[in-house]
């Protein structure tokens, strides 16, 4: 049995720590949330979307990652006795001829028939959306309720003496390597200032989102997401999550006026129903230039590793890659070169 410290309790650290615990390891988690800013996992909607982008491309390794994610979160749901996973479909608003053409091409392409069908004028969102659109339905989407999962583990690990509420100070790294067999850093975007992992090709991005309520007496969609330039997803507590911006240039991680205006403009293009903004949130995503996770042990300090770079897709990526990394750590199986940090030279 190894004594392992996980630094960071976002979705990456939580799923990795839980996976390691499942193999009987002696796992501790250290997390010191900043009380002035939110982590990416605290802001994210937790949406899993199989078909993305202007050309409606299938998300990388989707079938494999989705099957693993679904099994993992349903197991967590059964273990914790609370809803974590919600199967959803996405109603993609289509208007421009190019969009309709791309959609039609995809809906008849091999490998896509399980995911998308023909565009139609009918949708759950129809009476709340701008009328001059067709809707393409995307199946096999889901939402993972980070807002339920992460606080439950935080409390459980705190009560069990497994969560250390402090910021990991890099100057203490040697001291910690005497106490632990392995230290795995899951620090989200802050990994880009870790002295041992700065050389990785970070490309961190800020994202902003709203929580809104719609001003209507009509029954509202609860298991359909509406998507055009932003995504509108039902929240368990009522209301909707709306997001998000994708900013490369920013001075802080707080909600901004530019972000608010952008979200309002894009919501205005989609919704015919008035709404109230209940909250405006922002965080920085741990995105990577090649859009692949950052996983592995440090080449010179083999007790120190990283599990990060989940980018815009933490919900989908965390379970499969945590399992993959755990097999590497405990059984010595090779890491997939696509995610191995050795693809970047120190
Ligand atoms: C607006 C927005 C919308 C998004 N929507 C989605 C979505 O719908 N679906 C999806 O899958 N993904 C989405 N994402 C992306 C998702 O948030 C990330 O992929 C995921 O949350 C990254 O998780 P993480 O655990 O790596 O990092 P984080 O969530 O940032 O967690 C890192 C944790 O480590 C702690 N930490 C850092 N450094 C230290 C240290 N030195 N000592 C102690 N603790 C430390 C932090 O306090 C934090 O708790 C969205 C992101 C944003 C910003």
Long-range contacts of 192-195 (CB under 8 A, 24+ apart): 192/286, 194/170, 194/306, 195/170
Best of 72, 285, 286, 320 for a ligand 1 pocket test (most atoms within 8 Å of beta carbon): 285
- Return the pLDDT at 80: 97
Instruction: Give the number of other CB atoms < 10 A from CB of residue 96.
Output: 10
For residue 116 the two structure tokens come to: 């998308």
Residue 51 to residues 87, 115, 126, 344: CA-CA distances in angstroms? Answer: 15, 8, 21, 29
- Return the pLDDT at 296: 98
Residues 134, 261, single domain; the answer is: yes
- Could you tell me the CATH number of the domain that includes residue 217? 3.30.9.10
Residues 227, 281, single domain; the answer is: yes
- Return the pLDDT at 260: 98
Query: What are the pLDDT digits (tens) for 184-232?
Result: 999 999 999 999 999 999 999 999 999 999 999 999 999 999 999 999 9
Query: What are the pLDDT digits (tens) for 8-19?
Result: 999 999 999 999
How wide is the angle at C-alpha 322 spanned by C-alphas 76 and 243, nearest 5°? 75
| Residue 74, domain member (yes or no) | no
Best of 41, 42, 192, 198 for a ligand 1 pocket test (most atoms within 8 Å of beta carbon): 41
For residue 254 the two structure tokens come to: 């707080």
Atom 44 of ligand 1: nearest residue by CA position: 31
Q: Is the pTM of this model over 0.85?
A: yes
Residues 119, 161, single domain; the answer is: no
Task: Give the distance (Å) from ligand 1 centre to CA of residue 190.
Answer: 10
Domain that holds residue 107: 88-143+205-285
| Residue 55, domain member (yes or no) | no
Residues 220, 193, single domain; the answer is: no
| Residue 337, domain member (yes or no) | yes
Residues 153, 278, single domain; the answer is: no
- Could you tell me the CATH number of the domain that includes residue 326? 3.50.50.60
Residues 221, 123, single domain; the answer is: yes
Query: What are the pLDDT digits (tens) for 267-299?
Result: 999 999 999 999 999 999 999 999 999 999 999
Residues 211, 277, single domain; the answer is: yes
- Which residue, 258, 285, 312, sits at the end of a domain? 285
- Return the pLDDT at 122: 85
Q: Which residue has the tokens 């998000």?
A: 244
- Which residue, 268, 285, 302, sits at the end of a domain? 285
| Residue 34, domain member (yes or no) | yes
pLDDT band per the 50, 70, 90 thresholds, residue 54: confident
Nearest-atom index, ligand 1, CA of 281 = 1
Residues 125, 228, single domain; the answer is: yes
DSSP bridge pairs for 205: 285
Q: Is residue 322 within 8 Å of 55, Cβ to Cβ?
A: no
Task: Give the distance (Å) from ligand 1 centre to CA of residue 301.
Answer: 25
pLDDT band per the 50, 70, 90 thresholds, residue 237: confident
Residue 121 to residues 199, 225, 266, 325, 334: CA-CA distances in angstroms? Answer: 49, 16, 21, 45, 49
Task: Give the distance (Å) from ligand 1 centre to CA of residue 161.
Answer: 23
Residues 102, 159, single domain; the answer is: no
Q: Is residue 202 within 8 Å of 288, Cβ to Cβ?
A: yes
Residues 281, 293, single domain; the answer is: no
Residues 110, 220, single domain; the answer is: yes
Overall number of domains in the chain: 2
- The answer to which of 45-49, 121-125, 264-268 has the lowest mean pLDDT is 121-125
| Residue 63, domain member (yes or no) | no
| Residue 82, domain member (yes or no) | no
Best of 40, 90, 315 for a ligand 1 pocket test (most atoms within 8 Å of beta carbon): 40
Query: What are the pLDDT digits (tens) for 69-123?
Result: 999 999 999 999 999 999 999 999 999 999 999 999 998 899 898 899 888 988 8
What's the rounded mean pLDDT across residues 252-279?
97
- Return the pLDDT at 346: 67
- Which residue, 266, 285, 304, sits at the end of a domain? 285
Residues 227, 273, single domain; the answer is: yes
- Return the pLDDT at 330: 98
Query: What are the pLDDT digits (tens) for 292-342?
Result: 999 999 999 999 999 999 999 999 999 999 999 999 999 999 999 999 999
Q: Is 81 left (phi over 0), alpha (psi -120 to 50) or beta?
A: left
């Amino acid at each position: 049995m190894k004594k392992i410290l996980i630094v960071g309790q976002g979705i990456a650290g939580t799923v990795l720590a839980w996976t390691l615990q499942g193999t009987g390891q002696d796992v501790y988690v250290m997390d010191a949330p900043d009380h002035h800013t939110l982590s990416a996992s605290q802001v994210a909607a937790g949406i899993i979307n199989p078909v993305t982008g202007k050309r409606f491309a299938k998300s990388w390794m989707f079938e494999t990652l989705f099957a693993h994610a679904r099994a993992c979160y349903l197991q967590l749901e059964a273990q914790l006795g609370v809803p974590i996973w919600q199967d959803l479909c996405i109603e993609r608003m289509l208007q421009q001829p190019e969009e309709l053409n791309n959609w039609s091409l995809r809906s008849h392409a091999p490998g896509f028939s399980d995911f998308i069908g023909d565009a139609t004028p009918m949708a759950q969102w129809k009476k709340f959306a701008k009328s001059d659109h067709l809707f393409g339905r995307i199946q096999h989407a889901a939402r993972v309720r980070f807002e339920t999962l992460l606080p439950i583990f935080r409390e459980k690990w705190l009560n069990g003496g497994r969560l250390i509420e402090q910021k990991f100070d890099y100057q203490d790294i040697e001291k910690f390597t005497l106490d632990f067999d392995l230290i795995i850093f899951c620090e989200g975007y802050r990994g880009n200032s870790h002295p041992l992992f700065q050389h990785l090709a970070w490309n961190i991005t800020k994202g902003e989102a709203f929580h809104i309520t719609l001003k209507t007496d009509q029954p509202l969609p609860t298991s359909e997401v509406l998507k055009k330039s932003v995504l509108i997803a039902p929240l368990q507590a009522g209301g909707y999550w709306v997001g998000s911006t994708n900013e490369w240039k920013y001075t802080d991680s707080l909600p901004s006026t530019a972000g608010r205006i952008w979200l309002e403009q894009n919501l205005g293009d989609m919704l015919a129903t008035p709404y109230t903004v209940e909250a405006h949130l922002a965080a920085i995503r741990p995105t990577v230039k090649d859009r692949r996770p950052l996983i592995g042990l440090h080449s010179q300090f083999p007790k120190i590793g990283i599990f990060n770079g989940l980018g815009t897709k933490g919900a989908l990526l965390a379970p499969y890659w945590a399992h993959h990394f755990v097999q590497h750590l405990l059984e010595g199986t090779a890491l997939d070169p696509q995610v191995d940090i050795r693809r970047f030279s120190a």
